[in-house]
Amino acid sequence: MNTKNNGRNQTNRSPAAKNGESPVRAQSRETGVNRNGAAQNNGTQSFSANASAPQKSAAPQKSAAPQKNAMNAHPAPHAPQKAPKSGKKTAAIVILAILLVVVTVVAVVLAFLLKSAFTKPSASKDTEVPFNVTPVETEEVPETEDPDKHTGNGSEFDATITPDVYNFLLVGKDKDYMQPNGEMHYSYNTDTIMLVNLDLNTMKISVLQIPRDTYVELNGSYYKINAMYQHFFNEGSKKNVENRIDYAMKSFCDMLQTSLCIKIHYYAYVDLGGFIKLVDAIGGVDVEVPFRMKYDDDEQGLHIDLEAGFQHLDGSKAEQFVRFRQGNDGELDYLTADIGRQDAQKNFMAALLAKIKSSFGISTVTSLVDIALDNITTNVSLSDSVYFARQLLAVDMNEIRFIGFPGHDVPPAKAGDPWFYAMYRKNMISLINGYFNIYKSEITDAIFDPSRIYTSTTKFPQVNDIYTSALGTDGKVYTADEIKQNPIKIPTY
């Protein structure tokens, strides 16, 4: 038996003595006493040799009890039967105390969740209009024309909001990767950008995917919209902002609010690693892969290799599916480039939502919460998250709508020019009023995109031709149930 563990010296001969070591020296070593006789401070309680045997007090003699033998001459030990009773009682009290604490914690958590599930978010009380409602004159109005045609409805903007309607900005960050030279490349482009509207009055969800190549012009410089997060992140760095992700996302929201004339209540910034874990947490997703997807990018360590056909995708394969945009030389591509990829993502999201709704349970909730905390940066509070999760699960798949972005590709006019996607202004205004406007007044041409950040009149006139076209078409609208039953057919070449 180890003497350091039980705090008592052994009365039998120590192993050290058996091995020829001096018993005194062995005793000193075992009891923690140094050569000067001082107790060593070795972090454990030590006892002297004399303390190894406790002193027994004499018990009173019973005259009526005869002594049967020599053993009866020793005093009887104190009754040992009472100690276990005391120990059992103490243990029972401890167990009951622990159970009481656990029950209390569970009750508090359940009360919090129940309250959160039925308590409306504070954003529902925010009535501030985040964009300029003063009409902007872009051209002189002829005297014979109705000025309302250019300035809206001719009256003040009615900012009365429709209650229980919320807009979200969801952004997916590209994956960081190790470069061939051994240096880490940190990605800031956001190829996945979505506006989501949740209308609790009609129990409908509307999802608008914004193409990554959408033209944006700020302060005389032009960008693709997938670079806007990085632009604002760098701006926050220059200002020494502590939380640069929050700064970049709020700035991104502000840009979209002031230009599209919408109110964005919440944002969520999602790391691609979180997407992979989410898919794995629900056990994968069954999706129709429209054709053989084969693409390799050694620099960023991206390798996509999926066979055509209906199949089960885990998190890693799901990442390959949603990131595919074009194939290797000689392999198939989406004919409509980024729009083709967005249609593929619609197919995936419909399958993902169906899987979440069908497999939602306590274990799934726990896993998804852990993933969200580690991989999502958002301004949605925990209590509001519980509320929205409950509402989301109550929405029927037939009431979840995926809306196509109204616009057209803008191929490079000359070598070296970038490839853009330009919106149809007129059709975009109609889309905003139909799915994302929470105000009583409609958004008009006179107040929409007042700074014209989605067009270029000088450097890229072909962008402006599409932006101002009267022949633009609305984006197609699909429900999640329609897509789940019949996935969108995506043309290839």
CATH of the domain at 306: 3.40.630.190
Q: Where are the alpha helices (DSSP H) in 272-361?
A: 272-281, 315-323, 338-359
Establish if 453 belongs to a structural domain. yes
CA distance 306 to 285: 14
Average pLDDT score over residue span 295-315: 92
CA distance 351 to 312: 11
Establish if 103 belongs to a structural domain. no
Q: Output the pLDDT for position 389.
A: 86
Average pLDDT score over residue span 94-110: 59
Q: What is the pLDDT of residues 415-466, one digit of tens each?
A: 999 999 999 999 999 999 999 999 999 999 999 999 999 999 889 999 999 9
Give the model's confidence band at 302: pLDDT under 50 very low, under 70 low, under 90 confident, else very high: confident
Closest CA to 349 of 374, 318, 380: 318
> Is 60 exceeded by the pLDDT of residue 70?
no
Between 88 and 270, the higher pLDDT residue = 270
Q: What is the pLDDT of residues 261-280, one digit of tens each?
A: 999 999 999 988 889 999 99
Whether residue 393 sits in one domain with residue 292: yes
Whether residue 331 sits in one domain with residue 203: yes
Coil, strand or helix at 294: strand
What is the Cβ-side half-sphere exposure of residue 211, based on CA atoms within 13 angstroms? 27
Whether residue 278 sits in one domain with residue 381: yes
Picking from 98-107, 250-259, 405-414, which range would have the lowest pLDDT averaged per residue?
Answer: 98-107
Whether residue 10 sits in one domain with residue 143: no
> Is 90 exceeded by the pLDDT of residue 319?
yes
Tell me which amino acid residue 153 is: N
Beta bridge partners of 289: 309
Measured at the alpha carbon of residue 273, what is the angle toward residues 255 and 488, in degrees to the nearest 5? Answer: 70
Whether residue 155 sits in one domain with residue 11: no
Residue 152 and residue 446 in contact, taking contact as beta carbons nearer than 8 Å:
yes
Whether residue 415 sits in one domain with residue 288: yes
> Is 70 exceeded by the pLDDT of residue 237?
yes
Give the model's confidence band at 118: pLDDT under 50 very low, under 70 low, under 90 confident, else very high: low
Picking from 31-35, 101-105, 356-360, which range would have the lowest pLDDT averaged per residue?
Answer: 31-35
Establish if 130 belongs to a structural domain. yes
Establish if 80 belongs to a structural domain. no
Establish if 65 belongs to a structural domain. no
Percent of the chain's residues with pLDDT above 90: 53
Could you list the residue range(s) of the whole structural domain that residue 290 is in? Answer: 114-485
Q: What is the pLDDT of residues 355-400, one digit of tens each?
A: 988 877 666 777 787 888 889 999 999 889 888 988 988 999 999 9
Establish if 491 belongs to a structural domain. no
Give the model's confidence band at 27: pLDDT under 50 very low, under 70 low, under 90 confident, else very high: very low
- 400 alpha carbon, distance to own chain's centre: 21
Whether residue 126 sits in one domain with residue 23: no
Which burial class, exposed, middle or buried, applies to 26 when counting CB atoms under 10 A from its CB (0-12, 13-18, 19+)?
middle
Whether residue 363 sits in one domain with residue 265: yes
CA distance 140 to 34: 102
> What integer best gives the mean pLDDT of the chain?
80
Between 101 and 297, the higher pLDDT residue = 297
> Is 60 exceeded by the pLDDT of residue 45?
no
Prediction pTM value: 0.74
Whether residue 281 sits in one domain with residue 143: yes
